[in-house]
Chains A and B, each alone.
Chain A
Amino acid sequence: MGDLKNITTTNTGQNIDPSLIPILEEISDPEIPVLKILDMGVVRKAVWQDDEVYINLTPTYSGCPAMDVMADDITAAFEKENIKVKVKLVLSPAWTTDWITPRGRKALEEYGIATPLEEHADKEALLGNKRIVKCTNCGSLNTTMVSQFGSTACKALFQCQDCQEPFDYFKCLK
């Protein structure tokens, strides 16, 4: 719970009513179950207005099929508590991998998905094949990109040249 405070303070333009965090805390990314949607930074706004809750979600990728599921999950979670909720998708400002919280990054690493590098390093890793993405299995930097596109819109595919393990890399989006 230590990082929860950061969620409302480190992300520019984010506005989440602390009283809503316990309910939102329950909801995970449908494609990466270890990652909570709060840690992804896709919830931009969650506020009370009279007796209704208004939530703004911003998609990671335009065509991310998980967005509809997330919106449904949020609606279900609030309805279970008998709270009326309206979920809206907003496009601007566009989501960036910077909005993933430190707790989210840790969860991704432990799950076996390498986390986004800073923009410049990311470009070199994805385009120049520089070895800077750490293997999630053995920690080696001797890794190569297998494909710029992976199993979901947000990932690229890497392989470790030391332990031979293939793994996902969460591509940097800024």
Chain B
Amino acid sequence: MKNLKNYILQIADNNLILGQRLSELCGHGPSLETDIACTNIALDLLGQTRSYYQYAASLENDDVTEDDLAYQRTEREYKNVLLVEYPNKHFGYIIMRQFLFDVFHQLFLTELLSSKDEQLAAIARKGIKEANYHVSFSGDWIKRLGDGTQESHEKVQEALDALWSYTGELFDPSEYEKQLIEEGIAVNLEKIKPIYLERVSKLFAEATLTIPETKWFKKGGKQGVHTEHMGYILADLQYMQRTYPNMSW
């Protein structure tokens, strides 16, 4: 049961933190349409997060609620990958982070559909439709920026150079994840990795972008060891609950 709860949190935390990052763009997007698109995606991700947290909370015997899981944990207790913490440096970074996550998310949810855990499969069934839509948005933008002007190309290539080393962690299972993979509950990451590499490589080629050569990938998020950005995200996210404990609408 503990493995399952950790696994649910790991999936949910990715969505929560990326949703929080995208929400920062509300009213600050580079154009009205992209502003609305990014915050729409945030809404989808946060909606999915709620389903996961509700499920995780239902596994506890005590009175833990979805809100406690979102707002009351400390930094080390969050299990999201480092990629989703990366700041919104400029639109190139925002869209590259989104694309690298979206392709993974789509493949991940497709596999989660056949999880032996029925509730996870149900959440995936809902989420996959949204993930398909997200990847078509971010993929379109990657092509447009990569194969666009010299400036847009340089900026989005710069983002790819910076973010590529964060993709390894997506396919690096944690200990509890490994056990659940054997039980047929968690997604077998080895299975989706080659498909991921093939899909992103194909689109990057079309967008005239080059994947940097690196053998070293950053990791730690799944174990609760985060980048320096995480504290700032949580400071924003948890401010109200920390300042006015147990406040509600």
Chain A contacts to B: CB under 8 angstroms: 59, 61-65, 91-95, 126-127, 146-151, 153, 157, 171, 173-174
* CB atoms of A149 and B40 under 8 A apart: yes
* CB atoms of A149 and B33 under 8 A apart: yes
Of the listed stretches B43-51, B85-93, B154-162, name the one at the interface; the rest are far from the partner chain.
B43-51
* CB atoms of A93 and B50 under 8 A apart: no
B-side interface residues, number (CB < 8 Å): 26
Residue in A64, A65, A147, A174 with the greatest tally of chain B CB atoms within 10 Å: A147
* CB atoms of A92 and B133 under 8 A apart: no
Digitize B21-52: 1 where CB-to-A-CB distance is under 8 Å, 0 elsewhere.
00000000000010011001111111110110
Q: Report the minimum CB–CB distance from B191 to chain A (whole Å).
A: 23
Chain B contacts to A: CB under 8 angstroms: 33, 36-37, 40-48, 50-51, 121-123, 125-127, 129-130, 133, 136-137, 140
CA distance A95 to B47 in the complex (A): 14
| Chain B residues, Cβ within 8 Å of A173 | 129
* CB atoms of A92 and B126 under 8 A apart: yes
Q: Which residue of chain A has its CB nearest to the CB of B19?
A: A63
Given contacts A91-B125, A92-B126, A174-B129, contact A61 B33 (CB under 8 A): no
* CB atoms of A62 and B137 under 8 A apart: no
* CB atoms of A91 and B126 under 8 A apart: yes
* CB atoms of B50 and A62 under 8 A apart: yes
* CB atoms of B47 and A148 under 8 A apart: no
Q: Report the minimum CB–CB distance from B46 to chain A (whole Å).
A: 5
| Chain A residues, Cβ within 8 Å of B47 | 59, 61-64
Name the contact of A62 in the complex, choosing from B33, B44, B121, B136 (C-beta under 8 A): B44
CA distance A61 to B46 in the complex (A): 11
How many A-B contacts if CB must be within 8 Å?
67
* CB atoms of B43 and A63 under 8 A apart: yes
CA distance A24 to B95 in the complex (A): 42
CA distance A94 to B48 in the complex (A): 13
Q: Which residue of chain B has its CB nearest to the CB of A147?
A: B33
Residue in A149, A151, A157, A174 with the greatest tally of chain B CB atoms within 10 Å: A149
Nearest 9 CB-CB pairings of A with B: A63-B47, A62-B47, A92-B122, A63-B43, A147-B33, A149-B37, A149-B40, A62-B48, A94-B126
Other A-B contacts than A63-B50, A127-B140, 8 sampled, CB-CB below 8 A, are A61-B130, A62-B48, A63-B45, A63-B48, A92-B125, A95-B126, A147-B37, A157-B33
CA distance A171 to B37 in the complex (A): 14
Q: Which residue of chain B has its CB nearest to the CB of A58?
A: B126
Q: Report the minimum CB–CB distance from B95 to chain A (whole Å).
A: 13
Q: Which residue of chain B has its CB nearest to the CB of A148?
A: B137
| Chain A residues, Cβ within 8 Å of B122 | 91-92
* CB atoms of B33 and A146 under 8 A apart: yes
Q: Report the minimum CB–CB distance from A127 to chain B (whole Å).
A: 6
| Chain A residues, Cβ within 8 Å of B33 | 146-147, 149, 157
* CB atoms of A127 and B136 under 8 A apart: yes
Complex A-B: 23 CB contacts under 8 Å: A59-B126, A61-B43, A62-B46, A62-B48, A62-B51, A63-B42, A63-B44, A63-B46, A64-B43, A64-B47, A91-B123, A91-B126, A92-B126, A126-B136, A146-B33, A148-B136, A149-B41, A149-B137, A150-B40, A151-B36, A153-B43, A153-B44, A171-B133
* CB atoms of A61 and B44 under 8 A apart: yes
| Chain B residues, Cβ within 8 Å of A148 | 37, 133, 136-137
| Chain A residues, Cβ within 8 Å of B50 | 62-63
Residue in B43, B46, B50, B51 with the greatest tally of chain A CB atoms within 10 Å: B43
